[in-house]
Chain A
Amino acid sequence: MTPQTEIQLIAVAAAAACALSGTFLVLRRMAMIADAVSHAVLPGIVIAFLLGGGLGSPLLAFGAALSGVATVALVEALQRTKLVKEDTAIGLVFPALFAFGVVLVSRYADHVHLDVDAVLLGELAFAPFERMIIAGRDVGPRALWIAGGALVLNVAAVSVFFKELKLVTFDPALAAALGFSPLLLHYGLMTLVSATAVASFDAVGLVLVVALMVGPAAAAWLLTDRLAVLLPLAAGLGATSAVAGYWLARWFDASIAGAMAVCVGLVFLLVFSFAPRRGLLARRRMLATQRREFAMTLLAVHLAQHEGTVDEADESRLASLHLHLHWDEDRLRRTVRDGLNRGWLRREDDRLLLEDAGRSAARTVFARAWPQGTGTTPHRI
């Protein structure tokens, strides 16, 4: 394998792993927990480092995962005092832990060959240089094993506990009533998130972990309603952003982590704009259609109201109709065109008359607005 392939494989594995656990964070309104946990693992990493664990050692991963879970526990304990709100609790805990981590690094700089920048930003470009040697044989870059391990862990956890996670995410009360412990699953999920963040920070850095956990999941959720589709879709979008980011970084000779975050943003923006049902354009189109339908119905109702009354001639004259409806002429022209096309209206000299289809549409509105027996009948509109 060339180093390029290796880097991309590491990035894809990390991105997919992050997207899987991140999906549950997004669904549970805990996206900022990704930010908190990813920063707060720093003291855990440093302490494990001081205790003699090297980068990538199990002790380090354990320490980091532990401080990630401790962060969540602290945030929740603070919230339970009811003296601070959730957002404030998050904002109090993780900067304090991060600051503590930075102080530790600075105090023991001689013993810790740990670069805080590297933790924050990742060193993906150098990942292929550190090899995993098993029984004297080179079996690939160490970061690939770590990120791949995180991916396997996520896939296993999500597929084994799919039903439970789904239930706890969408209906925690029912889950509790059925005997699943929401608390246990919650902390299980938090452990998974922390472990994934730790496994990925080595390759892609803490800030990118947040992007990879939240961006693909948020984009995928605009595309599907089914959790079973959402998870692989999020992983796929994450992997795509990772590869695109790698090439973008190569193109500009820029930071890989930064370029990947940019690609996560671009993918999200694309989905956000063009998603078939929930995208910005689709929503706008739907709104415009609704507006036209409403205007057409209103016009039909107006004409039906005055049909057969003395002022019918006056109320249906094309030249002055917009005044009765308080519309501008442009809107009237467009609505009349829609109505003619639909077969609701016909023109007779300078007057607009209802066809049967238009009349029955107006009746439907009457029937809905004034159900039989309510005693009131519509008068002028």
Chain B
Amino acid sequence: MSEALQLLWTDYTLRNVAAGTAVLGAVSGALGCFAVLRRRSLLGDAVSHAALPGIVLAWLLTGSKAAPVLVAGAGITGWLGAAAVSALARRERIREDTALALVLSVFFGAGLMLLTVVQGRPDASQAGLDTFLFGQAAALVERDVLTMGAVGGVAVLVLALFWKEFKLLSFDADAAAVAGYPVKLLDHLLTLLLVVAVVVGLQAVGVVLMSSLLIAPAAAARQWTNRLGRMVVLAAVIGAMSGALGAAVSGLAPGIPTGPAVVLAATAAFVVSLLFSPSRGLVSRRLRAAARDRRLRTEGDAS
């Protein structure tokens, strides 16, 4: 373990990877809180899948594989996917779950088709899809980390600027509407932030696992506090630690890819929180129930 920590500081690649995944974990942890609280946890999954056609199109139209170009393309179709989900889910007989599943699979299929057409070969695995599916954290260089930090920083800044509005929207949207806040606009803005968090993370952890980075740190943080401010900060810390830990583990054990390692670290943080959080945790709940039983029994004997 100490060897791993030392490597984190001395090894250039590993330091970049760890810094990148930590930044990503912090940003998605903070923004994921709102998705989790608003019962939109799975929107991130739809957005990350919907990003694929955007990446291919951006590459096709500009001929460039530079990260900012691809991220912009991913953002556009990712946002379209989110918009499609909310447009569909408003309709009769189409529930949110159906809309999510439909959008994520159809957009992803469209991306897959585009990619194979562009590459001129029907075999997707040779077409460079792996990097997109599972991310390529090991290829992160210092500039990538700085870009991720800058974009994520802006997203967090927007979150801080509209803190009061987002808080009201998340806990009592009706009250926000009555008070005259532009609820629809705020909703779009929050979705946009989610899209930003997703596309920033795609490069590092990939499509399939990105949604977990939005959910697990937030769900873990939720167990420790009932205050939104503390929850967001805690989720960011848990996300950052999971990112760094995952990177360290995969750096030490070369067989383990970074994305899955980060996800497993974040999931472990959630499991620990679920069991041992002092107020809500399953273990402390059980202990309190046992103590209450004992007290009732002794009081019963006394009287």
Contact = CB atoms under 8 A, between A and B. Distances in A.
Q: Say whether A and B bind each other.
A: yes
Interface of A: 26, 29-32, 34-35, 39, 78, 81, 83-85, 87-88, 90-92, 95-96, 98-100, 102-103, 106-107, 109, 115-118, 120-121, 125, 207-208, 210-211, 213-215, 218, 221-222, 248-249, 252-262, 264-265, 268, 272, 278
A257 B40 CA distance: 28
B95 to A, nearest CB: 5
Contacts of A92: 212, 215-216, 219, 267, 270
Interface string B111-149: 111111100111111000110011000000000000000
A88 B219 contact: yes
B109 A258 contact: yes
Nearest to A88: B41
Given A81-B282, A91-B215, A99-B209, A208 B105 contact: yes
B260 A102 contact: yes
Contacts of A87: 39-42
Contact of A91 (B49, B124, B212): B212
A257 B109 contact: yes
B110 A91 contact: no
Interface of B: 36, 39-42, 44-45, 49, 88, 91-95, 97-98, 100-102, 104-106, 108-117, 120-125, 129-130, 133-134, 208-209, 211-212, 214-216, 219, 222-223, 255-257, 259-261, 263-264, 267, 270, 274, 280, 282
A260 B108 CA distance: 11
Nearest to B129: A117
B120 to A, nearest CB: 7
Nearest to A26: B98
Nearest to A210: B105
10 contacts: A31-B95, A92-B267, A115-B125, A116-B133, A120-B208, A257-B109, A261-B112, A261-B113, A264-B106, A264-B109
B101 A207 contact: no
Contacts of A26: 98
Given A253-B120, A256-B122, 8 more contacts: A91-B214, A103-B264, A120-B208, A210-B105, A215-B105, A252-B117, A258-B114, A261-B106
A91 B45 contact: yes
B39 to A, nearest CB: 5
Contacts of B215: 88, 91-92, 95
Given A102-B134, A221-B93, A259-B113, A31 B212 contact: no
A95 B212 contact: yes
A259 B130 CA distance: 19
B191 to A, nearest CB: 15
B97 A29 contact: yes
B97 A32 contact: yes
Contacts of A118: 125
Contacts of A83: 222-223, 274, 280, 282
A35 B45 CA distance: 10
Given A96-B267, A117-B129, A214-B98, A249 B41 contact: no
A222 B88 CA distance: 12
B263 A95 contact: yes
Nearest to A30: B97
A91 B35 CA distance: 11
**Which are the 6 A-B pairs with shortest beta-carbon distances?**
A261-B109, A258-B112, A95-B212, A265-B106, A258-B113, A99-B260
Contact of B39 (A85, A95, A218, A256): A85
Contacts of B101: 31-32, 34-35, 210, 213-214
Contacts of B280: 83
Given A95-B212, A125-B122, A88 B36 contact: yes
B109 A100 contact: no
A98 B36 contact: no
Contact of B109 (A91, A252, A259): A259
A31 B274 contact: no
Nearest to B130: A117
Contact of B98 (A103, A120, A218): A218
A265 B50 CA distance: 13
